[in-house]
């Protein structure tokens, strides 16, 4: 413990005894924990217990020290971070934040000895209380509308439904407003500890996604003409991130065919509440067709009936069955023949309420060729919610890959079609052309032969 | 115009000669007769006579074009519905009087070229821009531009499938005598030099590279200020590049490393399966022998 911390300890202790947090009447909509939970592992330093002996300056190798280094809240050591990531409990927040937590006496928010800060907190808590009261009123109103007889209303059943909808929307809005100014909520969200089953964290995540990532996806949809080519209209509402062999792929990146040989892993984040079923389709939009002198579409992967909710995010396409889904068309590695323009591999995530028959899908799309996203959408009564894409071109590994997977067509190369000039043929003119004949044989040495 | 102006003096001369001489004096000699017949050509004669007809200047002078400029030959080179092939010029213009629409390319001087083989269409597209006019090329003559919105793009492959040539072996890094064909000499202050093996076993740059070494015209290398802020930054950047590589090269290296790992894993797997198969075959044999 540093010198200034030692000096400040008596003040802190008195503060801890003096200030007590305001009792919270209503249930929290966020998972903001009490401060006991928030206090990080190094509690021994801040509590009333006597401080432990300072660690010796030489690096201790005892187990206790190792354990302390393996705290996801405070560690900044590379090996510890790696170990934590492997264990499934990745380090929390930035390294700078972890250092700050480790080096400061970790005082809970309620006890920070700043008057202005505490006054501000009071204002926020008053505001929250106001919102909670409103929530109680709105809930009562919703219940009242639900119980009213539609005959007494002017618009009848439709009016009642509309009113219920509007009241629900207002209630959801209030739930978000109650927690949006909570510093603890903000902190938990930024640390990646937000519980996505709570409306506030979903709201914050949606806002963050819309700030940049969604814009990039929308730009890719437009600039790669996904919208008129594959779907007439599409507004993504779910975040889909793409990973190949554990590495994130920027939307639209040109990928090596050897890397894309294995199915990718998706991170699908939906922002609206409730259970639903997802379908994933990977479509090649640029399969060259020399017979019709045009482009075809091909299905590279199709899975349906994956149960999903906002708390889930990781969806490896190789383990769809384990996630509870049905694979209708297994992964076919993307390939593009030599000389053909780049292939756009579009990954669509659909949402649907009812289960679809995987056998029926197999029958419809098992042949892969001519897969139409629109037809799939109509057949399964689903709506597209998420999108991501990558591109593939011919590279050194493609020929071997096609051989490995028994894909014909590796021996073909595409060349640009040549067009005859529209101008009539003109005889060659000029000095050289004049001296091509036998008459100028004596000049043969000096005359270039024209073809 | 020229013909008329030339004709006039001849006409005048003819009229003079044919006019009946009222008083044919004895003094009127043969020379006079010839004088009447003389052609009155060009302004020299008018200068002498001191008369200048306004009509001569006005006649057609305004029609003369200014000969001091070269004609630029702008305008439409292909009409609507005309067949074109890729690269054909459809319209030459200064600025974009017409904009490049479907399947066309706007050149550096705003010339519009065809990008595909098809039929030229001149059209407007209010959804794209309210007052622009476009030139496009469609694949079939009956098609109308613009295409309906949200319909899939009409595309043609425009390619033919041929037998793929298997790539030749990579160029050798070593000469027949076993010494490297080129040496890369990285320099921090100057550009990196690539020295190539010559027939006399010396190493030097290619001639065109030596030409580059001289620098731009009017610039003497080493004569300028030795270290500007910019140059020191450049030196720092190059040092960094030599040690760590550029961002691109770094990405490439990472990719290569990744490929290597994948390759090694595949080899290992193949080896393992081969091993398993071998063992299985051995086991079978072992089973068979006692039987």
Q: Is B156 on the interface with A (CB under 8 A)?
A: yes
Which of 67-86 (B) contact A at CB < 8 A?
83-86
* Mean pLDDT over the full length of chain A: 87
CB contact under 8 A, A416 and B258: no
Which of residues A129 and A62 earns the better pLDDT score?
Answer: A129
Q: Which residues does chain A have within 8 Å of residue B157's beta carbon, measured at their own beta carbons?
A: 288-290, 293-295, 414
H or E stretch at B49: helix B42-49
Nearest chain A residue to B149 by CA distance is: A228
Q: Which residues does chain A have within 8 Å of residue B86's beta carbon, measured at their own beta carbons?
A: 419
| Residue B231 in tokens | 């140059």
Distance from CA of A81 to the nearest CA of B (A): 22
Report whether pLDDT(A391) > 80: yes
| Domain layout of chain A by residue ranges | 64-103, 115-206, 224-405
Question: What distance in Å separates the CA atoms of residue B108 and residue A265, rounded to the nearest whole number?
Answer: 44
Report whether pLDDT(B13) > 60: no
Question: What distance in Å separates the CA atoms of residue B266 and residue A261, rounded to the nearest whole number?
Answer: 12
Residue-range definition of the domain harbouring residue B120:
75-138
CA distances to B13, B189, B203, B211, B219 from B206, rounded to whole Å, are 79, 21, 10, 9, 21
Query: What pLDDT does A340 receive?
Result: 95
Distance from CA of A423 to the nearest CA of B (A): 11
Within 13 Å and on the Cβ side, how many CA atoms surround B288? Answer: 6
| Residue B237 in tokens | 């950047």
Report whether pLDDT(A67) > 90: no
Query: What secondary structure does DSSP assign to B216-279, as a single string?
Result: STT--TTTS-S--HHHHHHHHHHHHHHHH--HHHHHHHHHHHHHHHHHHHHHHHHHHHHHHHHH
Q: What is the pLDDT of residues A194-223, one digit of tens each?
A: 999 999 999 999 999 999 999 999 999 999
Which of residues A430 and B213 earns the better pLDDT score?
Answer: A430
CB contact under 8 A, B153 and A288: no
The number of angstroms, rounded, from the C-alpha of A443 to the middle of its chain's C-alpha atoms is 75
Report whether pLDDT(B286) > 70: no
Q: Is residue A257 packed enough to be buried (19+ CB in 10 Å), middle (13-18) or exposed (0-12)?
A: buried
A314 C-beta neighbours (distance < 10 Å), count: 13
Query: Given pLDDT bands bounded at 50, 70 and 90, which one contains residue B30?
Result: low
**Within a domain: B20:** no
Q: Which residues does chain B have within 8 Å of residue A256's beta carbon, measured at their own beta carbons?
A: 255, 259
**What is the CATH code for A224-405?**
3.90.280.10
Residues A380 and A372 sit within 8 Å (Cβ to Cβ): no
CB contact under 8 A, A340 and B159: yes
Beta bridge partners of A326: A304
What is the interface pTM, i.e. ipTM, of the complex? 0.72
Beta strands in chain B (DSSP E): 75-76, 83-84, 89-92, 99-100, 104-106, 112-114, 118-124, 133-138, 159-163, 182-185, 193-197, 203-204
Nearest chain A residue to B254 by CA distance is: A247
Which of residues A211 and B261 earns the better pLDDT score?
Answer: A211
What's the total number of domains in chain B?
Answer: 3
A341 torsion bin: left (phi>0), alpha (psi -120 to 50), beta (else): beta
Q: Is B127 on the interface with A (CB under 8 A)?
A: no
User: Percent of chain B at pLDDT above 90?
Assistant: 42
Question: What distance in Å separates the CA atoms of residue B248 and residue B244, rounded to the nearest whole number?
Answer: 11
**Within a domain: B45:** no
| Residue A113 in tokens | 């000895």
Which of 402-441 (A) contact B at CB < 8 A?
410-417, 419-422
Report whether pLDDT(A398) > 80: yes
If asked whether residues B196 and B241 sit together in one domain, one would say no
Instruction: Report the CATH number at residue B95.
Output: 2.40.50.100
The number of angstroms, rounded, from the C-alpha of A310 to the middle of its chain's C-alpha atoms is 12
If asked whether residues B197 and B249 sit together in one domain, one would say no
CB contact under 8 A, A415 and B162: yes
| Residue A221 in tokens | 């949809």
Q: What is the pLDDT of residues A324-341, one digit of tens each?
A: 999 999 999 999 999 999
Closest Cβ opposite residue B157 in set A294, A338, A419:
A294
- Listed in sequence order, the residues at least 6 apart from B99 whose beta carbon sits closer than 8 Å to its beta carbon are B106, B129, B132, B133, B134, B135
- Listed in sequence order, the residues at least 6 apart from A384 whose beta carbon sits closer than 8 Å to its beta carbon are A231, A234, A236, A348, A349, A350, A351, A373, A377
Q: Is B161 on the interface with A (CB under 8 A)?
A: yes
Q: Is A225 on the interface with B (CB under 8 A)?
A: yes
Query: What secondary structure does DSSP assign to A286-340, as a single string?
Result: EEEETTTTEEEEEEEEEEEEEEE-TT--EEEGGGTTTTT-EEEE--------BTS
**Within a domain: B281:** no
CB contact under 8 A, A414 and B161: yes
The number of angstroms, rounded, from the C-alpha of A248 to the middle of its chain's C-alpha atoms is 10
Distance from CA of A415 to the nearest CA of B (A): 5
Beta bridge partners of B68: none
Q: What is the mean pLDDT of residues A434-442?
A: 92
| Residue B67 in tokens | 């000969």
- Listed in sequence order, the residues at least 6 apart from A111 whose beta carbon sits closer than 8 Å to its beta carbon are A12, A15, A16, A19, A35
Query: Given pLDDT bands bounded at 50, 70 and 90, which one contains residue B16?
Result: low
- Listed in sequence order, the residues at least 6 apart from A98 whose beta carbon sits closer than 8 Å to its beta carbon are A73, A74, A75, A76, A91, A92
Distance from CA of B1 to the nearest CA of A (A): 36
* Mean pLDDT over the full length of chain B: 80
H or E stretch at A388: strand A383-392
Give the CA-trace dihedral at A111, A115, A120, A122, to 10 degrees. Answer: 60
Residues A313 and A269 sit within 8 Å (Cβ to Cβ): yes
Residue in this structure with the two tokens 């006079």, named with its chain if needed: B32
């Amino acid at each position: 413990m540093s010198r200034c911390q030692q000096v400040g300890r008596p003040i802190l202790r008195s503060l801890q005894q003096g200030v007590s947090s305001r009792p919270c009447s209503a249930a929290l909509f966020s998972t903001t924990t009490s401060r006991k939970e928030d206090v990080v592992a190094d509690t021994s330093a801040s509590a009333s217990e006597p401080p432990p002996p300072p660690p010796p300056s030489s690096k201790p190798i005892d187990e206790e020290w190792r354990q302390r280094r393996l705290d996801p809240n405070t560690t900044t050591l590379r090996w510890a971070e790696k170990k934590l990531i492997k264990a499934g409990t990745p380090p929390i927040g930035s390294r700078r934040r972890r250092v700050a937590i480790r080096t400061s006496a970790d005082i809970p928010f309620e006890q920070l000895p700043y008057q202005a800060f505490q006054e501000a907190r009071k204002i926020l808590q008053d505001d929250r209380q106001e919102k909670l009261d409103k929530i109680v009123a709105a809930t009562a109103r919703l219940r009242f509308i639900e119980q009213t007889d539609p005959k007494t209303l002017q618009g009848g059943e439709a009016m009642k439904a509309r009113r219920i909808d509007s009241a629900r929307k207002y209630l959801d809005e209030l739930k978000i407003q109650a927690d949006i100014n909570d510093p603890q909520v903000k902190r938990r969200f930024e640390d990646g500890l937000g519980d996505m089953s709570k409306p506030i964290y979903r709201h914050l995540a949606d806002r963050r996604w819309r700030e940049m990532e969604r814009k990039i996806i929308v730009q890719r949809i437009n600039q790669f003409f996904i919208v008129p080519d594959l779907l007439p209209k599409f507004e993504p509402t779910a975040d889909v991130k793409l990973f190949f062999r554990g590495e994130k792929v920027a939307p639209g990146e040109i990928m090596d065919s050897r890397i894309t040989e294995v199915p990718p892993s998706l991170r699908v984040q939906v922002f609206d509440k409730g259970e639903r079923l997802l379908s994933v389709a990977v479509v090649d939009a640029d399969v060259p067709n020399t017979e019709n002198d045009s482009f075809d579409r091909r299905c590279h992967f199709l899975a349906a009936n994956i149960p999903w909710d906002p708390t889930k995010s990781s969806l490896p396409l190789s383990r769809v069955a384990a996630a509870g889904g049905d694979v209708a068309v297994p992964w076919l590695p993307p390939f593009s023949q030599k000389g053909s323009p780049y292939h756009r591999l579009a990954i669509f995530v659909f949402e649907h309420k009812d289960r679809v028959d995987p056998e029926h899908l197999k029958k419809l799309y098992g042949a892969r060729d001519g897969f139409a996203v629109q037809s799939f959408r109509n057949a399964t009564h689903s709506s597209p919610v998420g999108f991501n894409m990558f591109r593939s071109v011919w590279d050194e590994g493609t020929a071997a890959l096609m051989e490995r997977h028994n894909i014909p067509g590796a021996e073909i190369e595409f060349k640009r079609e040549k067009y005859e000039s529209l101008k009539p043929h003109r005889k060659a003119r000029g000095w050289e052309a004049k001296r091509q004949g036998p008459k100028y044989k004596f000049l043969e040495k000096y005359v270039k032969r024209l073809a | 115009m020229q013909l008329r102006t030339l004709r006039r003096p001849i006409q005048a001369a003819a009229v003079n000669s044919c006019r009946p001489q009222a008083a044919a004096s004895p003094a009127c000699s043969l020379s006079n007769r010839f004088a009447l017949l003389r052609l009155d050509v060009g302004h020299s004669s008018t200068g002498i006579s001191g008369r200048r007809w306004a009509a001569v200047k006005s006649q057609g002078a305004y029609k003369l074009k200014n000969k001091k400029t070269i004609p630029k030959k702008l305008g439409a080179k292909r009409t609507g519905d005309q067949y074109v092939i890729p690269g054909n010029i459809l319209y030459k213009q200064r600025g974009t009087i017409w904009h490049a629409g479907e399947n066309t390319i706007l050149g550096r001087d705003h010339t519009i070229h065809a990008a595909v083989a098809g039929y030229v269409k001149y059209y407007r597209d209010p959804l794209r821009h309210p007052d622009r006019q476009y030139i496009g090329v469609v694949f079939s003559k009956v098609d109308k531009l613009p295409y309906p919105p949200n319909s899939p793009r009409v595309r043609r492959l425009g390619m033919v499938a041929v037998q793929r040539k298997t790539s030749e072996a990579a160029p050798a890094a070593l000469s027949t005598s076993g010494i490297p064909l080129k040496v890369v000499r990285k320099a921090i202050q100057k550009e990196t030099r690539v020295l190539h093996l010559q027939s006399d076993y010396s190493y030097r740059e290619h001639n065109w590279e030596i030409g580059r070494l001289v620098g731009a015209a009017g610039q003497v290398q080493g004569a300028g200020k030795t270290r500007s802020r910019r140059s020191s930054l450049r030196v720092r950047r190059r040092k960094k590049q030599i040690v760590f590589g550029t961002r691109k090269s770094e990405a490439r290296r990472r990719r290569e490393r990744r490929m290597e790992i994948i390759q090694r894993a595949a080899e290992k797997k193949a080896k393992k399966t081969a091993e398993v198969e071998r063992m299985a075959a051995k086991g079978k044999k072992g089973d068979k022998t006692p039987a």
